Chains A and B, each alone.
Chain A
């Protein structure tokens, strides 16, 4: 389903990034332009995911988890290496990325749906389902800029999860809304996962990873530290993090 081969991702950090013609010119003259620092976000990462597997990706901040998801979902192209994906991807990397704050919830359902690649027919059919799940029926014709952040997240989650994708990519979104909605969204997620969807899942919540995933990947500084069974890897990860914390 998903095959990641020797993927390396390097970023310019933008410390001395030239944005204007004058700066570019000055740098060119002084020869400074050659010294652009590169940051390696992912270093020679390879793994594969079979159909129906639920993979948890863990690691500290800056380990390259989100970058990895962005590469798999096609937002970024890796510097070197290759990613092969068979099947329709539904990325839930950042919810509500396609929202226009000036538009109402109703209008945003269509706009954001289109951004996620849904067809018009599909959206018209699923409109009621989205509204019902979001619990925002009374606010349908209110501009989203007047929504609370919780409401926006609920709406976004409802739009994003209305599909039955073959591959689901999730970046830390289960902590959306109030406790009751969190429970609901977790159940929705479980339902999608048990429907045979392949899932790539990033979270800092070890309990979530343990309860949802069949396999885990531990990323450290852009490299794969370990791949294996969820329980084993989560425990090792937790132990190490806690140990370091204690030593301090």
Chain B
């Protein structure tokens, strides 16, 4: 079965690459700066947030480069937000195609996740700039050997996102309401993820619940390495993998069980 899946995957990899390419072309068509916006957008966003949070609110987390702290959380959460939101629409907005040609349907959410994923990798370039060139003295970040572990968190997060996207794109076919509900869910989710603040300012009971949030695990993993120069804890390692695999498997299961019914509902 796995062999069949792989050969199927290989057969449609060209289509997948074409669809990701299409997304890039359509997104930047007729804008003067084109793909540069993938870099400029996060840079501008970072400047705005740096002004608002570090200067206006004087927000800080003791002993570390707050701007880098904020940006790591934000860039990672934005990846989740954008990928799941665009994937959610991927099945319903491709209905003309699904109704007419046979294609494996997982291609639609997956290609959206890949597209946003590539964009995410591009935003890491300005992020690295922030990490290396802001902060001073004790809060200065220095590249260390543990940086090699960072992709581990990103890969786990990617699987998590694909899993969530599969579930959302399936739900969107049967209950259109999810399109509106999920917008609110992500807003709440964002505030319940320590992006702007540190978990230590919260009451103790909350501090115990927060690590159940998958995004907390992925972000903490990266922050531990970049801001504190430490290797992430064993629990952190395990939780990242657990959430990645768990949601991916559930997502695949939900998607597969329902994909043949899509055509009657969209």
Contact = CB atoms under 8 A, between A and B. Distances in A.
A77 B260 contact: yes
Contacts of A22: 177
B62 to A, nearest CB: 45
A115 B12 CA distance: 9
Contact of B101 (A91, A110, A111, A120): A91
A119 B11 CA distance: 8
Contacts of B26: 100, 102-103
Given A11-B264, A115-B15, A119-B14, A107 B97 contact: no
B78 interface: no
Interface residues of B, number: 24
A91 B260 CA distance: 19
Contacts of B25: 102-103, 107
B166 to A, nearest CB: 19
Contacts of B96: 97
A49 interface: no
A190 interface: no
A117 interface: yes
A86 interface: no
B97 A117 contact: no
Contact of B15 (A11, A21, A97, A114): A114
Nearest to A97: B100
A73 B22 contact: no
B100 A94 contact: yes
B150 interface: no
Interface in A80-111: 91, 93-94, 97-98, 100, 102-103, 107, 110-111
B260 A12 contact: no
A169 to B, nearest CB: 11
A21 B175 contact: yes
A167 to B, nearest CB: 13
B177 A20 contact: yes
Interface string B192-226: 00000000000000000000000000000000000
Given A20-B175, A21-B177, A111-B18, A102 B263 contact: no
Interface string B99-113: 111110000000000
Nearest to A113: B18
A94 B94 CA distance: 14
A24 interface: yes
Contacts of A29: none
B263 A75 contact: yes
B19 interface: yes
Contacts of A117: 11, 15
Contacts of B176: 19-20
B29 interface: yes
Given A93-B100, A93-B101, A24 B22 contact: no
Contacts of B29: 102
A134 B26 CA distance: 24
A97 B18 contact: no
A240 to B, nearest CB: 31
A111 B15 CA distance: 7
B97 A98 contact: yes
Given A110-B18, A111-B19, 9 more contacts: A17-B265, A20-B176, A75-B99, A75-B101, A75-B263, A97-B97, A103-B22, A114-B14, A115-B103
Interface of B: 11, 14-15, 18-19, 22, 25-26, 29, 96-103, 175-177, 260, 263-265
